[in-house]
């Protein structure tokens, strides 16, 4: 699957309105500086799939999740060519850690 292309200066961001915290809002605001932002609200697994399908450019998750919340969605996104990285790094989100709580991450 091909990554979503920015057309007409519009960026699609899949994020949760119910978990919209300051970090996520700052990410969205930074993208708004250069582009129009279309906000897509969907369930967690669906947000991974929206990026995988090329319907969303980003899924920023800057709120707590556990490994079991993200494993299936991550493999779907990665198999489509998307990346799932720890926020503000190029390091992949990894599993089977001693603490099963995920760090904040970005799917793109």
CATH T-level fold of 10-107: D-Maltodextrin-Binding Protein; domain 2 (3.40.190)
**pLDDT confidence bin for 20, thresholds 50/70/90:** confident
Instruction: Check: CB of residue 102 under 8 Å from CB of residue 65.
Output: yes
Instruction: Give me the pLDDT at residue 2, please.
Output: 57
User: Which three-class secondary structure state does DSSP give residue 94?
Assistant: coil
For residue 31, the Cα-to-chain-centroid distance in whole angstroms is 13
Give the start-to-end residue ranges of the domains of the chain. Answer: 10-107
Q: Could you read off the pLDDT of 28-63 as tens digits, one per residue?
A: 999 999 899 998 988 888 999 999 999 999 999 999
Whole-structure pTM value: 0.87
Instruction: Give me the pLDDT at residue 91, please.
Output: 97
């Amino acid at each position: 699957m091909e990554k979503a292309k920015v057309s007409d200066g519009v960026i699609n961001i899949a994020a949760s309105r119910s978990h919209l915290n300051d970090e996520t809002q700052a990410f969205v605001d930074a993208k708004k500086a250069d582009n129009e932002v279309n906000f897509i609200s969907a369930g967690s697994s669906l947000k991974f799939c929206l990026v995988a399908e090329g319907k969303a450019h980003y899924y920023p998750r800057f709120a707590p999740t556990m490994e079991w919340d993200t494993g299936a969605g991550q493999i779907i996104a990665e198999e489509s060519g998307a990346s799932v990285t720890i926020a503000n790094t190029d390091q992949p989100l990894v599993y089977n850690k001693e603490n099963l709580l995920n760090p904040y991450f970005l799917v793109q």
